[in-house]
Structure 1
Amino acid sequence: MGDPRVRRTQAALQSTLIDLVQDRELSRISVADVAERAGVSRSTFYDHYRDVHELAEAACTAMIDDLIEAIPDPGTCDGAHAAADSLLAFFAHLDEHAGLYRGVLGPQGSARVVDHVRRRATVAAYVGARRAATGHEAPTDYTAPVPHDVPAAFTAGALIGVATDWLQHGCPSSPAEMAALTRPLLIALYREDGRGQA
């Protein structure tokens, strides 16, 4: 499980970065800024992360891991409501932390974070389709390997593409509007694929 002091320090540094990125671009935040605001020394910072970019990656992947069950599962029997709710939660989360996600998902961002989001979203879509096909409500193991699955990979890529475009344009539509625009596209994919009716 790890040392609780290490987890607390890492959580404090991640939380501090999330606060700082609300006021300025990620590229303009230094290690000294984070360390000072978090009340730790620079050497303590470097005990945990190489630089601000690695800290941003850790903060994003931790939040994505908490959020990932909200990735739409249109193949469930109550797929219309589940997809609407999960998409709203997804876009609301991105909107709340737009500065951070814009920094790591944008053109100068982190390939590691993009790949993490893509893999987690692919697993969520794959497991959702399997649940719809079998009716089995097994818990999701997001670390398990997933076979090549075109609709699941397409779903994950589409969500990342839409989210990144929205963030890069300054979130011009509300999370509710984004959910409403995205949901029919995902439902259509699942209907075309024959994985379930929403």
Structure 2
Amino acid sequence: MPRPRHDSEILPAKERMENAFWELLSTREYHKITVTDIVHEAGVNRNSFYYHYSGLPELADSAIMHVVQEASPKLPTPDSDPDATWRENITNLLQSPEHRERLDRLALIAGPHGSPELVDSLRDFGRLTIIHSLQLPERIDLKTDLMLDFTVGGMLAVLSRWPELRDTVELDDLLNEDVAVLAMSMCLSLSRKDLLGYWHRIFRSDLTGDDK
């Protein structure tokens, strides 16, 4: 039996199967996708599928987890400029073909072809990614837990609208100081940094009357 090629033209079997999952989800409902569909689309055999996955749900979890991890934006810090951080993230998000493809894929989960199971998986991986990125403690307090739910819920809401926004939203629509401040505040609230000090710094001119 010939050895598999290891060049740039042939992707690893797992990556091909995850790509096949996303391609199929773009054309049909999740519950109508079968293992046979996956192996046919990916160009692998059933033995290869079951070598890597116990079934379709495990493949779906793996595909979602990898896209969520790859899509994680740069997180702000208490001393960073919220406008600059937001501008960098949004510019990368909207102008990078790779990032837009990840958004397109995650939007499938929140769209009509998704399922409650896929949404739960996306929600769980979103929470875990934020917890890991912000280095939150293993046991979080109620406020942080609710903020996590609020943040991930907002992301899911945006993803559900992404198909209608992707071709109309402009970079300037999102390069907005109010949006940047909101995003920074949410991250700082989750990370339990000096949020009050941050607000005082951002609005110092208003607080001191320097704008008069």
User: Same fold by TM (over 0.5)?
Assistant: yes
Partner of 1:185: 182
Structure having the higher Rg = 2
Aligned residues of 2:90 and 2:175 also touching (Cα < 8 A): yes
Deviation at 1:51, TM superposition (A): 2.2
Aligned to 2:109, which of 101, 107, 119? 101
CA separation in 2, counterparts of 1:57 and 1:67? 15
Aligned residue runs from structure 1 range 17-28, under 5 A:
17-28=21-32
Count of residue pairs the alignment pairs up: 176
CA separation in 1, counterparts of 2:79 and 2:149? 20
Partner of 1:15: 19
Partner of 1:162: 154
CA separation in 1, counterparts of 2:114 and 2:78? 27
Amino acid at match of 2:104: E
Deviation at 1:145, TM superposition (A): 4.7
Query: 1:127-179 CA distances to partner (integer Å, 9 max, x unpaired)?
Result: 5xxxxxxxxxxxxxxxx855636676555433311121233346433465567
Deviation at 1:32, TM superposition (A): 0.6
Partner of 2:66: 62
Unaligned runs of 5+ in 2: 1-5, 203-212
Identical-pair percentage: 17
Q: Does 1:117 align with 2:126?
A: yes
In the superposition, the TM-score normalised over structure 2's length comes to 0.63
Aligned to 2:88, which of 68, 73, 85? 85
Partner of 2:164: 172
Unaligned runs of 5+ in 1: 128-143
Partner of 1:137: none
In the superposition, the TM-score normalised over structure 1's length comes to 0.66
Worse-matched range after superposition: 33-42 or 98-107: 98-107
